[in-house]
Amino acid sequence: MKTYIALLRGINVSGQKKIKMADLRDALEKGNLKNVKTYIQSGNIVFDSAELNNAALEDKIKDVILTRFGFEVPTMVVTGSEIEAIIKANPFVNKTEESNLYFVLLKQSPAKEHQEEFNQLNFVNEDFHVTNTCVYLCCEKGYGKAKLDNNFVERKLKVQATTRNLKTMNKLVEMTKS
């Protein structure tokens, strides 16, 4: 068995795609995932599985949600060590308050030309750093007022993504170790 983190995008936001976490845990365990735990209401799941293929796990989770709740949800599956590596590589760690740090996790590597175009962008009170797995955001006025939101990043880099703050990232890593 291996421990994984599933990140769902766009559930329980503004009354859309509502899923109670207890119902989600139950559905995933019936779908043969083990030791399913959730963190807050925004689609953060830690679980164990004998399956070693992340894409197969993503498909399984999407299928369970579609069957049980009736809608599709973009899903990304990663490991705790992958999240830890992203946190450790954060270029803004000593440059801002932790509450201003956000991680836009990329499902696939963006094309070089899209990265180059993205790197030409400039926003007041927002700084960023693009890698193949993450766009690190430093939002001095908070993420809620940021121009560099998840939809913008997806549109410009032409990849699927989901955003988490530093507190959530650290909690998910901690949950994989308990």
Q: What pLDDT was estimated at residue 98?
A: 86
Q: Looking at the structure, tell me whether residues 158 and 170 fall in a common domain.
A: yes
Residues 61 and 88 in one domain: no
Given 27, 48, 78, the domain boundary residue is 78
Helix boundaries (H) for 4-158: 21-30, 54-69, 80-88, 112-118, 150-157
What CA–CA distance (Å, rounded) separates 140 from 127?
A: 8
Q: Is the pLDDT of residue 102 over 90?
A: yes
Same domain flag for 86 and 100: yes
pLDDT in tens, 30-78: 999 999 999 998 899 999 999 999 999 999 999 999 999 999 999 999 9
Q: Report the amino acid identity of residue 94.
A: N
Q: How much is the pTM?
A: 0.94
Q: What is the number of domains present in the chain?
A: 2
**What number is the average pLDDT over the span 94-114?**
93
Quickly count: other Cβ atoms within 10 Å of residue 177's Cβ: 9
Question: What range does the domain containing 74 cover?
Answer: 2-78
pLDDT at 21 over 80: yes
Same domain, 9 and 57: yes
Same structural domain for residues 45 and 91? Answer: no
Start-to-end CA distance of the chain, whole Å, equals 14
Cβ(110)–Cβ(132) below 8 Å? yes
Q: Are residues 39 and 126 in the same domain?
A: no
> What pLDDT, on a 0 to 100 scale, did the predictor assign at position 145?
86
Per-residue pLDDT reduced to its tens digit, 25-43: 999 999 999 999 999 988 9
